[in-house]
Amino acid sequence: MGKQKIIPHLWFDREANEAVRFYTTIFPDSEIISRSVLHDTPSGDSESITFTLSGYSMMAIDAGPYFKINPSISFFVNFDPSKDDKAGEHLDTLWNALAEGGEPLMPLQEYPFSKQYGWIKDKYGVSWQLILTKAEGEERPFIMPSFLFAGYVYAKAEEAIDFYLSVFNHTRKGVVVHYPAGMEMDKEGTVMFSDFMLERQWFAAMDSGYPHAFGFNEAISLLVECKDQKEIDYYWDRLSADPEAEQCGWLKDKYGVSWQITPEIMDTMMEKGSAEQIDRLTQAFLKMKKLDVEQLKAVYEEA
């Protein structure tokens, strides 16, 4: 797949370190890649952590109690019996680990679409859809972020997918399954399940007509690493739909999904910089809406 361009970012109050340690312990072949402390943010000192779960890149930050993680964005975990003859056992093991202090949203059992599936919210509020995939058809990655379109964006899943496909590169639509007539609360023709590719990465989306007390917010955002200012400008212009939500590289699209549009070089500066350089960088980007690459470089390189 090459370098992952779109990275899910989890916002915690003060549990990021504990949560990341937990996830990298229970997922196979997982590790913490880097940590950096951002001083004097609106939330005080915030630790930012980059980590991988089974090779899939994610980030987490301790940034105060402003946003609460909810199931509007969850993560599919695909266990493929054609690649792992103990897929079912490994699914059970992960489910049991996530269930400690967690809350099942759909019980782990057989469903018409899978012999083994369950949706669970873990003790940190992050939700996971564990599924035994069918061997036939095109392979999907182990972890896939999934959008739930509910509340004021109900029935917008297919429209949103088409919009994202028009914005990003290396895209295509995968499976689309619509609700049939007679499904309680769910309107015929809305999306029961769909998956799609952005920047060679797979995502899933579905509609839900049930009354959910949550929607998209900043607690789970998608960070897009851009090679230069031109690319930052491109994504910013096409995705940002709420001027009030624009802050230090963050924006909200017209469906309420939060994105962070950042330069690739920011990773290197945060990992390799001295404490003084990171502090200067932090204070500079906290004052920006859309990030200005040249200005960030200049601040970082000050004598």
- pLDDT tens figures, 95-132: 999 999 999 999 999 999 999 999 999 999 999 999 99
Q: Which amino acid is at 183?
A: M
More confident residue, 286 or 128: 128
Rounded mean pLDDT, 185-197:
93
Distance CA 137, CA 263 (A): 36
Helix axes 87-99, 16-26, angle to 10 degrees: 160
Rounded mean pLDDT, 295-302:
91
Of 99, 102, 124, nearest to 15 by C-alpha is: 124
Q: What is the mean pLDDT of the chain?
A: 94
What pLDDT shows up at residue 275?
86
What pLDDT shows up at residue 40?
79
Cα 236 → chain centroid: 18
The CATH H-level superfamily of 6-68+216-301 is 2,3-Dihydroxybiphenyl 1,2-Dioxygenase, domain 1 (3.10.180.10)
What pLDDT shows up at residue 119?
98
Per-residue pLDDT of 137-188, as tens digits, reads 778 999 999 999 999 999 999 999 999 999 999 999 999 999 999 888 889 9
What pLDDT shows up at residue 93?
98
pLDDT band at 1 (very low <50, low <70, confident <90, very high): low
Tokens of 180: 């049939």
- Sign for the CA dihedral angle at 125, 119, 174, 78 comes to positive
pLDDT band at 270 (very low <50, low <70, confident <90, very high): confident
Distance CA 139, CA 245 (A): 37
Beta strand residue intervals within 199-270, DSSP E: 201-207, 220-226, 250-252, 258-263
Q: Where are the domains of the chain?
A: 6-68+216-301, 73-207
73-207 placed in CATH 3.30.720.110: yes
Per-residue pLDDT of 15-33, as tens digits, reads 999 999 999 999 999 999 9
